[in-house]
Structure 1
Amino acid sequence: MEKLKCIIADDEPIARQILESYIKEISSLELVAACKDAFEVMEQLQRNDVDLLFLDINMPKLSGLGLLKTLQKKPSVIITTAYPEHAVEGFELSVTDYLLKPFSMERFIQAVLKVQKKPMSIDSVSISPKEKTENFLFVKSDKKIIRLDFESIYYVEAYGNYIKIFTDQMILSPQTLSDFLEKLPEYFMRIHKSYIINFNKLKLIDGNQVVLANDKILTIGKSYRKQVLKKI
């Protein structure tokens, strides 16, 4: 399948990072540029064939809607904004979808599917394996999207269809332990059917238990013990 070439336009660095992380997960998308204002977008559109624009409204110098009004030939547009009051004007300018920040990965995929015009479910979207070059990832928790630095994690605990991520606080996120482990660097390891630990936070092993740097004590599952000792 031919990839959709896309551009991000948002003046907020964190917002750009979130979108970049989402785009990396979708194998049918190719990021051409991440722009901080409308004039950078204009330059990129002149230099590249672009299929899709993720566009913030509230940007300096020229707003996202102002940019759309200047473009004679424009790609498909998905608005990404914290301001719902511009939705009507956005759709009058023929945008494909209107995402209110903070939005989930699932909602992002739904918007992309509208651009692709394919009657597919979210579960059928091809998602590429996450590259482990970054030292953080974003997780959904309640109605928020939280940046999570890998080194801040002590351990992760299964909790039904959710996981509890323990840093200096506890973050509850709707995903499975196995799925989350695939997103983590190699220094994370499953030591029990219910636990993943950050080996950089390992303080000591005492029999069938580990003690982490925050003094949390966790049990090593019998079927995981050999693998844990081999890791050490």
Structure 2
Amino acid sequence: MKIKCLLVDDEPLAIKLIENHISKIDSLQVVATCNNAIKAFEILSTQEIDLLFLDIKMPNITGIDFLKTIKNPPKTIFTTAYRDYAIESYDLEVVDYLLKPITFERFFKSIDKFLRANSLIVPEKKEVLKDEFILVKSGNKHHKIKIDQILFIESLKDYIKIHTVNDKRIVSKYKIGEIEEELAHKNFLRVHRSYVINTNKISAFTINDIEVNSVEIPIGASYKDKVITFLKNIV
């Protein structure tokens, strides 16, 4: 039996991303999507929903306040670009708190957690498609970036700069350690405290630096052993 999902988010691209992730897991089914809490309440009142994906910062009422108003709410996974609500959200006993941009790897961990908590069968993870993408907020825009188009990511203190194959550079308020975790197991490697690279884009290297798309990226002293071990395996 399919797990019926409702997606609530005022950003169309965010909904599309979750729909894309759900399409890779056979046991999940999107029953409905909407962009505000009022419509979500109507859907919950008329349809059986097993799992709710709920954005937090939305017009008129936040996802947290909305969830507090529902009697017997479905299991809920918060999806948000804001870290500040994490502690408050866990008081509501939600399944998980997903921070945008949401990669499939991180999404799958949430579904795994939901299924195990409800004694359901955990699905096999399908191969990640080449068109998998992340959503990154820069200013007032949300950018859809295909993972295989990322060359490397550069740290700018509390911000990151994402360099892509089309020479596009996107700056977002995001810590490099967090994006490193999000892109784990996707052929990305931390080579320096300020750089995470797409290992599929390496064009040359020495013991001191790695070249990605003609850009020489230094290998940090504390990362050298791990990086050299990796490089030996690809020679």
Shared fold by TM > 0.5? Answer: yes
Equivalent in the alignment of 2:133: 139
Kindly indicate whether the alpha-carbon contact (under 8 Å) linking 2:9 and 2:55 is maintained by their aligned counterparts in 1. Answer: yes
Kindly indicate whether the alpha-carbon contact (under 8 Å) linking 2:64 and 2:89 is maintained by their aligned counterparts in 1. Answer: yes
- Cα distance, 1:40 vs. partner? 1.1
Q: Which runs of 5+ in 1 are unaligned?
A: 131-135, 156-164, 177-193, 195-232
Residues 50 and 141 (structure 1), Cα distance of their counterparts in 2 relative to 1, 3 Å cut:
closer
Question: What's the secondary structure of 1:79's corresponding residue?
Answer: strand
Query: Using the alignment, how far apart are the partners of 2:114 and 2:135 within structure 1?
Result: 27
- Cα distance, 1:111 vs. partner? 0.6
Equivalent in the alignment of 2:22: 23
Give the TM-score taking structure 2 as reference length. Answer: 0.55
- Cα distance, 1:125 vs. partner? 2.4
Equivalent in the alignment of 1:90: 89
Counterparts of residues 28-177 of structure 1 (less than 5 Å): 28-117=27-116, 125-127=124-126, 137-139=131-133, 147=144
Q: Which runs of 5+ in 2 are unaligned?
A: 150-163, 170-182, 188-199, 201-235
* Aligned-residue CA RMSD (Å): 3.9
Kindly indicate whether the alpha-carbon contact (under 8 Å) linking 2:14 and 2:135 is maintained by their aligned counterparts in 1. Answer: no
Query: Using the alignment, how far apart are the partners of 2:86 and 2:55 within structure 1?
Result: 12
Number of aligned residues: 159
Residues 57 and 169 (structure 1), Cα distance of their counterparts in 2 relative to 1, 3 Å cut:
closer
| Runs ≥4 residues deviating over 3 A | 126-130, 144-149, 165-170, 173-176
Kindly indicate whether the alpha-carbon contact (under 8 Å) linking 2:7 and 2:32 is maintained by their aligned counterparts in 1. Answer: yes
- Cα distance, 1:140 vs. partner? 5.1
Question: What's the secondary structure of 2:58's corresponding residue?
Answer: coil
Query: Using the alignment, how far apart are the partners of 1:102 and 1:29 within structure 2?
Result: 21
Q: Which amino acid aligns with 1:139?
A: F
Kindly indicate whether the alpha-carbon contact (under 8 Å) linking 1:77 and 1:96 is maintained by their aligned counterparts in 2. Answer: yes
Residues 175 and 91 (structure 1), Cα distance of their counterparts in 2 relative to 1, 3 Å cut:
closer
- Cα distance, 1:126 vs. partner? 4.6
- Cα distance, 1:47 vs. partner? 1.4
Q: Which amino acid aligns with 1:115?
A: F
Kindly indicate whether the alpha-carbon contact (under 8 Å) linking 1:26 and 1:128 is maintained by their aligned counterparts in 2. Answer: no
Question: What's the secondary structure of 2:23's corresponding residue?
Answer: helix
Equivalent in the alignment of 2:224: none
Aligned identity (percent) is 35
Counterparts of residues 202-213 of structure 1 (less than 5 Å): none
Kindly indicate whether the alpha-carbon contact (under 8 Å) linking 2:133 and 2:144 is maintained by their aligned counterparts in 1. Answer: yes
- Cα distance, 1:129 vs. partner? 9.7
Query: Using the alignment, how far apart are the partners of 1:27 and 1:57 within structure 2?
Result: 27
Query: Using the alignment, how far apart are the partners of 1:175 and 1:84 within structure 2?
Result: 23
Query: Using the alignment, how far apart are the partners of 1:70 and 1:62 within structure 2?
Result: 11
Question: What's the secondary structure of 2:84's corresponding residue?
Answer: helix
Larger Rg: 1
Question: What's the secondary structure of 1:84's corresponding residue?
Answer: coil
Kindly indicate whether the alpha-carbon contact (under 8 Å) linking 2:6 and 2:33 is maintained by their aligned counterparts in 1. Answer: yes
- Cα distance, 1:175 vs. partner? 5.1
Alpha-carbon displacement from aligned partner over 1:183-226 (angstroms, at most 9, x marks no partner): xxxxxxxxxxx9xxxxxxxxxxxxxxxxxxxxxxxxxxxxxxxx
